[in-house]
C-alpha cells in the first residue's frame, strides 16, 4: 500500500501535469526536437577540456538570454547562472530556490579533434562526437527545460535557478557545484536536480565518494655506481605501494583502491631524484575513505623512514623527503528513502508510466547530497554510449519522454519548496 507521502506526491504531480501551462511546456518539447539537437550539435563542437570551459560557458550564457532567463551571469569560477522568477517575486527575497544544473566540462584534453556527425538510425537522430552524451545531452536538456517553461509562461512558485557548471569531471573535483554551495545562494537551495547524460529510467541517489592523492618522494639522486647507497625514491615509493596494496578493502560498503600512475627517474644507470604516484580511493562510506587515507600516510611515511635509516649514504648525501597532496575529494552520501525528491520522482514515474532504478554514481549531486539537500542526478532522455571515448554517441530516441520527466520533477519540487 502506498505511503501517505507517496500518495500526496502523486496528487501533486497529477495536479501539476493537468495545468494548461504544463501542457504548453510539453507541447514545446514535442514540437522542437530539431532546435534541441541543433543546440547539442553546437555545444558539443565547442571544446571544454578540464579548466577550459570558458568558450562553452559564453555560448550557454547567450542561449540563456535568448531563452528568456533573468539575471544571467557568470560567477567567479565560470558557472553560468540564470533565473526564472515568480510573477510576484520580491528582489529582496531570501526564500527557497530550486536548482537544475548540467555540467559544461568534458574529460577530453585541449587539442582533441571534435567533428560532430549527425546521422539517422532507426528513425532517430544519432550524434557522434566526444562529449555528445556526457554532457552534451545534459546541456541541451537544460536549455530545453528553460525554453519550454518560459515559452509556456509557467508561473513558478519560487525562483528556479538554471546552472551550467564547470569542473564536474576528473580533477575538476566538482569545483563548480562546490562554489555554488559556498555562495550566498547556498542557504536558499531547497532541492537540486542534476541533468547528466542520457536516459529516463535511472537516478543517482547514492553518491560514490572518492579521495585522490599524488604522492611524491624526492632525494639527492646520483650515479648508480659511484653514488651507491644513496636512498632511492622509486624503491621507497614501491615499498609504500606494496604495503598499501596488502590492506584489505571491504565488499560492503563497496570500496576500491587503485594505483593509477607512477613515474620517475632519468635513466637505468641513475639513482632517481624523484618518484611520483597517483592513487584513487573510492567508497560509499566516508569512514572507509578516511581509513584508507590514514593507511596511505602511514605506508609512505614508514617506507621513507626505513629507506633513510638503511641507506649507507643517507647522512652524507641527503635523505628522502615526501609530500602527499590531495588532488580530489568527492563526498560520499545517500538520499534517504523517504526524501521528498524521491517521492516526487516515483510519482512522476507513475504519471508517465516509467520505472526508475536508483543507483550509485559520482556526479555533481554528491555535493548537495552530502549537505542533506534533496538531490538526484538524472538523464536528459534519449540513449547514449561510449562515454569518455572518442567514439561517444547520443541517440535522440525518446528524448522527449526524458525531458517531460525532468520537467515534471522540477515543477513538483518547486511546488514542494514553496510549502517549506
Q: What is the pLDDT of residues 163-209, one digit of tens each?
A: 999 999 988 999 999 999 999 999 999 999 999 999 999 999 999 99
Q: What is the pLDDT of residue 412?
A: 98
Prediction pTM value: 0.91
**How far apart (Å, rounded) are the C-alpha atoms in residues 389 and 263?**
24
Q: What is the pLDDT of residue 220?
A: 96
Q: What is the pLDDT along the chain (420 residues), one digit of tens a residue?
A: 455 666 699 999 999 999 999 999 999 999 999 999 999 999 999 999 999 999 999 999 999 999 999 999 999 999 999 999 999 988 888 999 999 999 999 999 999 999 999 999 888 999 999 999 999 999 999 999 999 999 999 999 999 999 999 999 988 999 999 999 999 999 999 999 999 999 999 999 999 999 999 999 999 999 999 999 999 999 999 999 999 999 999 999 999 999 999 999 999 999 999 999 999 999 999 999 999 999 999 999 999 999 999 998 777 889 999 999 999 999 999 999 999 999 999 999 999 999 999 999 999 999 999 999 999 999 999 999 999 999 999 999 999 999 999 999 999 999 999 999
**How far apart (Å, rounded) are the C-alpha atoms in residues 322 and 320?**
7
Helix boundaries (H) for 246-334: 286-310, 314-317
**How far apart (Å, rounded) are the C-alpha atoms in residues 117 and 114?**
9
In 3D space, the residue among 359, 345, 360, 383 whose CA is nearest the CA of residue 198 turns out to be: 383
**How far apart (Å, rounded) are the C-alpha atoms in residues 195 and 376?**
9
82: enclosing H helix or E strand: strand 80-84
**Alpha-carbon 164 to chain mean position:** 12
**Alpha-carbon 109 to chain mean position:** 17
- Whether residue 300 is preceded by a cis peptide bond, meaning omega within 30 degrees of 0, is no
Q: What is the pLDDT of residue 75?
A: 98
Give Dmax (Cα) for the chain: 85
Residue with cell 537551495: 189
Q: What is the pLDDT of residue 2?
A: 53
Q: What is the pLDDT of residue 90?
A: 87
C-beta of residue 212 within 8 angstroms of C-beta of residue 278:
yes
Angle at 165 between CA 128 and CA 179, to 5 degrees: 155
Determine the angle formed by the axes of helices 20-31 and 136-151, rounding to 10 degrees: 130
Angle at 238 between CA 211 and CA 267, to 5 degrees: 115
Amino acid at each position: 500500500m502506498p505511503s501517505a507521502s507517496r500518495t500526496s506526491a502523486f496528487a501533486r504531480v497529477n495536479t501539476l501535469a493537468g495545468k494548461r501551462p504544463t501542457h504548453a511546456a510539453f507541447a514545446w518539447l514535442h514540437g522542437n526536437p530539431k532546435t534541441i539537437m541543433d543546440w547539442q550539435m553546437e555545444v558539443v563542437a565547442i571544446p571544454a577540456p578540464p579548466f577550459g570551459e570558458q568558450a562553452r560557458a559564453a555560448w550557454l550564457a547567450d542561449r540563456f538570454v535568448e531563452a528568456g532567463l533573468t539575471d544571467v551571469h557568470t560567477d567567479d569560477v565560470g558557472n553560468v547562472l540564470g533565473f526564472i522568477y515568480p510573477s510576484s517575486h520580491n528582489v529582496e527575497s531570501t526564500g527557497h530556490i530550486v536548482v537544475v544544473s548540467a555540467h559544461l566540462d568534458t574529460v577530453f584534453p585541449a587539442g582533441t579533434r571534435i567533428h560532430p556527425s549527425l546521422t539517422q538510425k532507426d528513425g532517430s537522430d544519432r550524434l557522434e562526437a566526444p562529449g555528445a552524451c556526457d554532457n552534451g545531452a545534459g546541456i541541451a536538456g537544460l536549455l530545453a527545460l528553460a525554453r519550454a517553461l518560459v515559452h509556456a509562461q509557467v508561473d513558478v512558485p519560487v525562483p528556479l535557478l538554471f546552472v551550467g557548471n564547470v569542473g564536474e569531471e576528473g580533477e575538476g573535483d566538482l569545483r563548480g557545484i562546490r562554489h555554488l554551495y559556498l555562495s550566498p545562494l547556498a542557504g536558499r537551495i531547497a532541492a537540486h536536480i542534476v541533468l547528466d547524460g542520457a536516459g529516463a529510467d535511472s537516478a543517482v541517489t547514492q553518491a560514490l565518494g572518492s579521495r585522490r592523492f599524488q604522492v611524491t618522494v624526492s632525494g639527492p639522486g646520483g650515479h648508480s655506481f659511484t653514488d651507491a647507497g644513496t636512498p632511492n625514491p622509486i624503491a621507497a615509493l614501491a615499498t609504500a605501494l606494496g604495503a598499501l596494496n596488502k590492506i584489505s578493502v571491504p565488499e560492503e560498503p563497496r570500496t576500491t583502491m587503485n594505483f593509477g600512475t607512477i613515474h620517475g627517474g632519468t635513466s637505468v644507470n641513475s639513482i632517481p631524484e624523484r618518484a611520483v604516484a597517483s592513487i584513487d580511493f573510492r567508497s560509499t562510506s566516508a569512514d572507509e575513505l578516511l581509513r584508507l587515507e590514514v593507511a596511505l600516510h602511514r605506508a609512505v611515511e614508514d617506507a621513507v623512514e626505513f629507506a633513510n635509516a638503511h641507506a649507507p649514504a643517507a647522512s652524507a648525501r641527503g635523505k628522502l623527503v615526501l609530500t602527499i597532496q590531495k588532488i580530489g575529494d568527492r563526498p560520499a552520501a545517500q538520499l534517504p528513502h523517504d526524501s521528498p525528491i524521491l517521492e516526487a520522482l516515483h510519482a512522476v514515474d507513475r504519471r508517465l508510466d516509467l520505472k526508475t532504478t536508483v543507483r550509485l554514481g559520482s556526479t555533481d549531486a554528491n555535493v548537495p547530497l552530502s549537505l542533506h539537500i534533496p538531490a538526484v542526478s538524472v538523464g536528459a532522455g534519449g540513449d547514449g554510449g561510449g562515454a569518455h571515448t572518442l567514439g561517444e554517441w547520443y541517440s535522440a530516441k525518446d528524448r522527449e519522454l526524458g525531458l517531460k520527466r525532468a520537467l515534471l520533477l522540477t515543477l513538483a519540487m518547486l511546488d514542494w519548496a514553496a510549502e517549506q
